[in-house]
């Protein structure tokens, strides 16, 4: 019997040494320690031994049983430690590692330009205002000295909105930001120094025109305002936005709401002002920034401002065109700005 117990112990140890997971450990437990396990069966045999022998063999059998249980418990702990070690390995994270910053978007190039333009003008006291982007014909044309059916209106190729007319006429998608002029004069008494940046719409589309673009409108009204003040403000802006090395010029022009009127040009940033006509963008060295002029007396009157006391100047430029004229930007087709091509947009 003692020999059988020794054999069983050896067998138990050998099986135990090959156990590497919980399933095998459970199988070993059933095979040796379970109700019908090998040890139980042997212990039954012990019970049938003669008294004397039963005492000694019984004691040995108990030792074997305890040894099994201790070895079993040890293995169980080993497996537990290894499993939780493996789990830790799988789920490990270094809480001291610096976080990975999520990819951040940024303002569109046009929005960046609008912020910059606003900041440049605010430095010389131009307050930022916002006139409606959909407005009555009166503020867009009529009050700006462009009566109904005046051919000047055709220049703006306006989108009319299908809404009932009021005494201020039809509603239009503003083709320029000049609607802010009389609107502001109705609300604020001079001196006025404002900048209005907004979306504008025209039925146009080619390499220098898009149907939705942005303009910024400046208006200054005070006593004794002259063209020299206008020129000074335009030069200040050109220097602040484009830096030195670019030339500007004023060309006589005609707008119904300014007198005298000018077109403000800047030498082209793509070709550097090559007047040969070879540049795809400017076709002659100069790019038109936008219009400007001294506010027409009729416009002042429409806004309730006395033209015998006050005078003023106004200008209205395209944000996208202004941006395209910037050194180093080299956009030779305005439409790329709104194609949502990330390869382009993420460069800025």
Residues 181 and 183: their CA atoms lie apart, in Å, by 5
291 makes contact with ligand FA5 (CB under 6 A): yes
Q: Minimum distance from CB of 239 to ligand FA5 (Å)?
A: 19
Q: Minimum distance from CB of 95 to ligand FA5 (Å)?
A: 52
> Site for ligand FA5 (CB under 6 A): how many residues?
24
CB of 258 or CB of 311, closer to ligand FA5? 258
Residues 214 and 176: their CA atoms lie apart, in Å, by 8
Instruction: Work out which of 145, 158, 198, 258 binds ligand FA5, going by CB under 6 A.
Output: 258
Instruction: Work out which of 293, 312, 325, 331 binds ligand FA5, going by CB under 6 A.
Output: 293
In sequence order, what are the residues at sequence separation of 6 or more whose Cβ sits closer than 8 angstroms to the Cβ of residue 90?
A: none
CB of 4 or CB of 335, closer to ligand FA5? 335
CB of 182 or CB of 292, closer to ligand FA5? 292
Instruction: Work out which of 202, 246, 256, 296 binds ligand FA5, going by CB under 6 A.
Output: 202
288 makes contact with ligand FA5 (CB under 6 A): yes
CB of 32 or CB of 216, closer to ligand FA5? 216
Q: Minimum distance from CB of 159 to ligand FA5 (Å)?
A: 12
First to last CA, the chain: 89
Q: Which stretch binds ligand FA5 (CB under 6 A): 65-73, 123-131, 286-294, 301-309?
A: 286-294
CB of 60 or CB of 152, closer to ligand FA5? 152
CB of 61 or CB of 271, closer to ligand FA5? 271
Instruction: Work out which of 174, 179, 215, 267 binds ligand FA5, going by CB under 6 A.
Output: 215
Helix (H, G, I), strand (E, B) or coil at 80: helix
In sequence order, what are the residues at sequence separation of 6 or more whose Cβ sits closer than 8 angstroms to the Cβ of residue 253?
A: 261, 262, 263, 291, 293
Q: Which stretch binds ligand FA5 (CB under 6 A): 42-50, 239-247, 271-279, 314-322?
A: 314-322
Beta bridge partners of 288: 265
- How far apart, in Å, are the Cα atoms of 221 and each of 292, 295, 300, 313? 14, 8, 9, 7
315 makes contact with ligand FA5 (CB under 6 A): yes
Residue 270, both tokens: 């793509």
Instruction: Work out which of 178, 179, 196, 267 binds ligand FA5, going by CB under 6 A.
Output: 178
DSSP states along 23-62: HHHHHHIIIIISTTSHHHHHHHHHHTS-HHHHHHHHHHHH
Q: Which stretch binds ligand FA5 (CB under 6 A): 23-31, 128-136, 310-318, 335-343?
A: 310-318
213 makes contact with ligand FA5 (CB under 6 A): yes
CB of 209 or CB of 229, closer to ligand FA5? 209
Own/partner long-range contacts of 331-336 (Cβ < 8 Å, ≥24 apart): 332/207, 332/270, 332/280, 332/281, 333/207, 334/207, 334/208, 334/209, 334/210, 334/213, 335/205, 335/207, 335/210
């Amino acid at each position: 019997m003692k020999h059988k117990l020794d054999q069983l112990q050896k067998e138990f140890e050998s099986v135990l040494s090959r156990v590497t997971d919980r399933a095998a450990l459970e199988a070993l437990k059933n095979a040796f320690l379970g109700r019908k396990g090998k040890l139980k069966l042997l212990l039954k045999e012990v019970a049938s031994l003669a008294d004397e022998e039963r005492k000694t063999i019984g004691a040995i059998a108990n030792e074997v049983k305890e040894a099994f249980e201790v070895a079993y418990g040890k293995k169980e702990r080993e497996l537990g430690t290894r499993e939780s070690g493996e789990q830790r390995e799988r789920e490990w994270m270094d809480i001291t590692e610096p976080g990975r910053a999520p990819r951040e978007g940024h303002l569109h190039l046009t929005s960046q330009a609008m912020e910059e333009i606003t900041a440049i003008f605010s430095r010389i006291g131009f307050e930022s205002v916002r006139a409606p982007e959909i407005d009555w014909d009166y503020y867009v044309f009529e009050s700006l000295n462009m009566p109904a059916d005046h051919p000047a209106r055709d220049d703006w190729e306006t989108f009319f909105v299908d809404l009932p007319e009021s005494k201020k006429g039809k509603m239009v998608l503003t083709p320029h930001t000049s609607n802010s002029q009389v609107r502001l004069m109705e609300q604020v008494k001079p001196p006025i120094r404002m900048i209005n940046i907004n979306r504008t719409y025209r039925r146009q589309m080619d390499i220098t025109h898009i149907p939705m673009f942005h303009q910024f409108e400046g208006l200054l009204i005070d006593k004794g305002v002259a063209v020299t003040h206008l020129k000074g403000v335009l030069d200040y802006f050109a220097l602040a936005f484009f830096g030195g090395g670019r030339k500007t010029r004023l060309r006589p022009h005609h707008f119904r709401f300014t007198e005298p009127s000018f077109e403000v040009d800047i030498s082209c940033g793509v070709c550097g002002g090559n007047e040969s006509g070879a540049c795809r963008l400017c076709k002659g060295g100069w790019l038109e920034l936008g219009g400007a002029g001294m506010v027409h007396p009729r416009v002042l009157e429409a806004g309730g401002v006395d033209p015998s006391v006050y005078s003023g100047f106004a200008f209205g430029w395209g944000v996208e065109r202004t941006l395209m004229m910037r050194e180093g930007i080299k956009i030779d087709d305005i439409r790329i700005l709104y194609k949502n091509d990330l390869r382009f947009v993420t460069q800025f």
